[in-house]
Structure 1
Amino acid sequence: MFLRALEIIFFFYFLSHIPISLMIDLQPLFPVHLYPSKLKNLLHWYAAEFKDPMMMAPPVWFKSFVFCEALVQLPFFPIAAYAFMKGGCKWIRTPAIIYSVHVATTLIPILSHILFNDFTLATHPGPQTLQERLTLVSIYAPYLIIPIMILFTMLFSSTYNSTSTKGNASSKSKKLR
């Protein structure tokens, strides 16, 4: 029951990530004219409201993470959404481990940048107060927390991390021959 609840959370995480990536996250990679004004306005509102200058004038290192999101993560989102909607798909284990480690690793420098960077000279307003920094961290935090939950589920759930006794018996018999 608990595992199924996690799978549903993972399903919605991946499903919701598809439009968020396409409409918002990938905007810094592509020319401005490719996006309709409503989506550009949404990005500008988000960046101003939550003081996220990385989305308006991304540093090169941040742009490289967005590039990885477009090239590696985005194609994985519908596959993962399907696997977790269906539930118990053992084949998703290795790709989910790779995804979760990759995303968690990228979130460490992003969160560090938000918490410790001096944004006073930034072209676009960045967080200045601790409250503003924590608010922006709270926007990015689910993209660290959920991948860690996915990683632990893939590593420690008997559903995703089990080897069949039949497979073990046949490999043992092969070794004895």
Structure 2
Amino acid sequence: MFLRTLEVIFFFYFASHIPITLFIDLQVLLPEHVYPQPFKDVLRWYASEFRDPMVLDPPVWFKSFIFCEALVQLPFFPIAAYAFFKGNCKWIRTPAIIYSVHVATALIPILGHILLYNFPLAPLPGPQTSKERWTLVSVYAPYLIIPLLLLLTMLFSSTYNSASTNLKASSKSKKLR
């Protein structure tokens, strides 16, 4: 039951990530004329409300993460959403491990930047107070926490970890001898 709850969480995470990537995140890379005004307005509202200047004036390193999101992660999202919607798809284990390590590794410098960088007040104000910094961290945190939860599930769940299943089978066969 607990594993199925995690699979449902993973399904919603991956399914929701598709429109977020297509309509919000990729605005960092694609020309402005590609997006209709309402999508641009949502991005500006988000940047203003959460004081995230990285999405309006992204540093090159941030653009490289978004490029990886577009090239590597976006094609994986519908596959992972399907696997976790269906449940018990053992074939998703290795791709999910690769994905979760990749994303968790990318989030560490992003969170470090948010917490430690001295953001200028102009032209695009970033977080200045601890509250503003932690609010922005809370926006990015699920993209670290859920991949880490996914990684732990893939490594330690007996459903997805065939090594633990093989160890159990091996110990049972030794007991029978």
State the 1:30 CA deviation. 0.4
Distance 2:123 2:12 in 1: 35
State the 1:123 CA deviation. 3.0
Query: Pairwise mapping of residues 12-51 of structure 1 onto structure 2 (< 5 A)?
Result: 12-51=12-51
- Give the counterpart letter for 1:136 in structure 2: L
**Which position in structure 1 is the counterpart of 2:65?**
65
Query: Pairwise mapping of residues 24-173 of structure 1 onto structure 2 (< 5 A)?
Result: 24-120=24-120, 123-163=123-163
8 Å Cα contact 1:53/1:123 also seen in 2: no
SS in 1 for 2:14: helix
SS in 1 for 2:158: coil
TM-score (norm 1): 0.91
**Which position in structure 1 is the counterpart of 2:173?**
none
Distance 1:115 1:122 in 2: 18
Distance 1:120 1:35 in 2: 27
Distance 1:123 1:96 in 2: 39
The RMSD of aligned alpha carbons is: 1.3
Distance 1:137 1:123 in 2: 21
Distance 2:122 2:30 in 1: 21
- Taking every aligned residue pair, what percent have the same amino acid on both sides? 74
What stretches of structure 1 of length at least 5 have no aligned partner?
Answer: 170-177
- Give the counterpart letter for 2:72 in structure 1: V
Q: Deviations over 1:57-111 (max 9, x none)?
A: 0000000000000000000000000000000100000000000000000000000
8 Å Cα contact 1:46/1:52 also seen in 2: yes
8 Å Cα contact 1:25/1:66 also seen in 2: yes
TM-score (norm 2): 0.91
